[in-house]
Each structure stands twice: as structure tokens, then as C-alpha cells.
Amino acid sequence: MEDQEQTSFTFEIDNFSEKEAIISSPTFSRGGCEWFVHVHKGYIVDDHLSLYLHVANTESLRIGWKRRASYSFILLNQSGKDLFRVPESLCQLFCYEFSGRGKPNAVPLKELQEKGFLEKNKLIVKVEVKVVEVVDEGDVTENETFNFLNGYNVMYSQLYSANQLFVEHPNIAVNFRPKSKPLKTTYTNLLLNLIELLNKPPHSLTETDLSNAQIELIDLTEAGFELDWLKTKLADVTLERKKPNPDVSRVQELEEQNKNLNAELKKEKVKSVTPAAKVLLFEQTVSDLKDEVSDLKDEVSDLKDALNKNEEKSDTFAAKFLSLEQMVLNLRADLNKEKGVVSPW
């Protein structure tokens, strides 16, 4: 579906100097959807007026909707005369993930007053919109490319990153030398991938990653991109990677704490088990002595029968028997003491 008719919408802002940083216009219709204008006072680019065109009713449109539109912004005086026309943006894509397009550095704020754009402190903005393609539903793959800027094609998945890049660094491609669209697209995607790499945690990058990043940065700079800020970013990432990894250090610290806690736990277990083990030892000793006493009783009985034949030997074993009985009594007393029982003997 195509809609080649052009629509214009005029938005007047009274008391402009007293307004907040972001000013929204009423909505207007074109190409089966609602649109509105955002005016930014130094909010996106310092000391500049930024002008953006947005699709308003994104939630009510069908899944997969797209609009391709050409648009331009004009600043008017109160008589409706054109004072300044921002260069036209041709055939730009609007979709659910990327519903706004615009000019981050449309006009320096100081020029609004100097060049008479603010007659009686009123700013009049006119937007002309021509919707050239309307898609109400469909699927978009991550590898599909779109014309982000004139000649700069980017993948669908990189639209947001590309927009942020040109908003934060509006002059990044002013001196870019290659003119063919394929080269523009190649260099732009290389730049976006490099930025994505350097935004990863420094310790997740290898020496090879950083070496390749340095080579790519040189290639991009030689092509004309203004990338001093990215050079600083690469230097910071390289320096940060040389520092001890705080995550690894924390893991080692936790492992050491765990080791110490386990050692303390073993000590406590030994302390808590020792009294019980001691009782069991005494009980086993008593049991063994009982068996030995029983055997001695049998031996004593046999010795009594032979008393008349060997009285000296009988006396010796009898003494040994008594000694063992005394040992049993002593052990029982110790055992009861461990258990906290008062001995009946």
C-alpha cells in the first residue's frame, strides 16, 4: 500500500524560553497512523534545538507494521514565511522498535534569537510528511537491513544502537570519505560492532579482541569517522582489563571463607561428638573387662579344684581377679561421672 500525498502540520510554541526541555505537539494523521513532533531544547545535543517526528499510536497498530516516509522541518515566522528549512530526510523507516526519527542538531539555540526565529518568544515549527510505503503487518528478520541515514544501511537489530550513536555524536561522519552505499554500510556496521564489543565487561575480552579492536579503530579513523571518544573508550577498557578481576577475587574470597567455615564446623562437630565418643569408649572398655572377668571366674573355679595341688598359683590368680574387679569398679565410677550419674558404690 502506498500513500504519496504530502501532509503538512504546523505547531506553535508560545513562551518558548520558559518551556521544559521536551515539548510535544498535538497529533495529526497520515498513512493510516497518528504522528506527533518532539521539540528538544538541548536535551539530546547540548545547546541545540532537536526536532523529531514520531508515530503516536504504536500500540494500536498491527504487529509487524512499518511506515516509510520522507519528511522535513521548517521554522516559520508569525506571517507563515519560511525562515529556515532543515535538510529533508528521504524514505526513512518507522516501525515498532524504531518509531521516531529526526534531527538532533537542527539549529543552535543561540541562533533562534539572533536570527529572529523567536518573534515575541514564539517558535513556529512546520513538518512536511510524505508516506511512501505502508505495511500493516509482517515479519522482520534480524539480518534485514534498513536505510538508517542516506546511504548508511544498518541491520534491523542495530537500529536503536545506530540512532543512539548519531544522537550522541552528530558530527561523527562529517568527514567520512567513502561515497558508495555498500562501503558506507560496511563501515557503519563495523563501527557498531566495535562499539558493542567495547561495551562488554573488560575481563570478558581477550588480547586478540583488543588487538583486533585497535586495528578496526585505525581503519575507521582513516575512513574519516571522528572517533576520539572511542579511542579513549578502548584505552580505558584495555587498562581495566589489566586490573585484577573483581568478580574472580570475590569468588576466591568466598571460597576461602567457605574453607574456613568448614574447618570451624569440623572443630565444632569434634567438640560435640567427643563426650558421646568418650562414653562409648568407656562402655566398650567395661564390656571387654566384663568378658575378661567372666573368663577369670571360670579360671578361678578351675583353680579352686586344684587348690590343694598348687596353692601359690591359686593365690596369684585370685589376687589378679580381685585387681580386675577393682578396675571394673573404677571404670564404672568414671563412666557414671561422664554420664552425670552418682555411683551407687
Nearest to 26 by CA among 9, 43, 8: 9
Assess whether 111 and 89 both reside in one domain: yes
Q: How confident is the model at residue 135, as a pLDDT?
A: 84
Assess whether 123 and 197 both reside in one domain: no
Assess whether 147 and 100 both reside in one domain: no
Q: What is the CATH number of the domain that holds 48?
A: 2.60.210.10
Domain with 169, as residue range(s), is 141-272
* Bridge partner list, 313: none
Assess whether 100 and 154 both reside in one domain: no
Q: Does a structural domain hold residue 328?
A: no
Q: Mind spelling out the 3-state secondary structure of the chain?
A: CCCCCEEEEEEEECCHHHCCCEEECCCEEECCEEEEEEEEECCCCCCEEEEEEEECCHHHCCCCCEEEEEEEEEEECCCCCEEEECCCEEEEEEECCECEEEEEEEEEHHHHHHCCCCHHHCEEEEEEEEEEEEECCCCCCCCCEEEEECCEEEEHHHHHHHHHHHHHCCCCCCCCCCCCHHHHHHHHHHHHHHHHHHCCCHHHCCHHHHHHHHHHHHHHHHCCCCCHHHHHHHHHHHHHHHCCCHHHHHHHHHHHHHHHHHHHHHHHHHHHHHHHHHHHHHHHHHHHHHHHHHHHHHHHHHHHHCCCCCHHHHHHHHHHHHHHHHHHHHHHHHHHHHHCCCCCC
Q: Does a structural domain hold residue 291?
A: no
> Which of 140, 156, 181 marks a domain boundary?
140
Q: Does a structural domain hold residue 278?
A: no
Assess whether 152 and 217 both reside in one domain: yes
Q: What is the pLDDT along the chain (345 residues), one digit of tens a residue?
A: 455 678 899 999 999 988 888 899 999 998 888 999 999 988 777 888 999 999 998 878 877 788 889 999 999 988 888 889 988 888 888 888 788 888 888 899 888 888 888 888 999 999 999 998 888 765 555 555 666 555 567 776 676 677 777 777 878 888 888 888 788 888 888 888 999 899 999 888 899 999 999 999 999 999 999 999 999 999 999 998 888 776 655 556 666 666 777 676 666 655 655 566 655 656 666 666 666 666 666 665 665 665 555 455 445 555 665 665 666 566 666 656 655 544 444
Assess whether 187 and 216 both reside in one domain: yes
> Which of 256, 272, 288 marks a domain boundary?
272
Question: Is residue 40 within 8 Å of residue 46, measured between CB atoms?
Answer: no
Q: How confident is the model at residue 105, as a pLDDT?
A: 85
Assess whether 121 and 163 both reside in one domain: no
Q: Does a structural domain hold residue 296?
A: no
Q: Does a structural domain hold residue 206?
A: yes
Assess whether 154 and 136 both reside in one domain: no
Q: How confident is the model at residue 10, as a pLDDT?
A: 94
> Which phi-psi region, left, alpha or beta, contains residue 31 (left: φ > 0; alpha: ψ -120 to 50)?
left
Q: Does a structural domain hold residue 116?
A: yes
Assess whether 60 and 160 both reside in one domain: no
Q: How confident is the model at residue 96, as a pLDDT?
A: 80
Q: Does a structural domain hold residue 290?
A: no
The total number of structural domains in the chain stands at: 2
Q: How confident is the model at residue 75, as a pLDDT?
A: 94
Q: Does a structural domain hold residue 171?
A: yes
> Which of 246, 272, 298 marks a domain boundary?
272
Assess whether 150 and 124 both reside in one domain: no
Assess whether 85 and 150 both reside in one domain: no
Q: How confident is the model at residue 342, as a pLDDT?
A: 43
Assess whether 186 and 241 both reside in one domain: yes
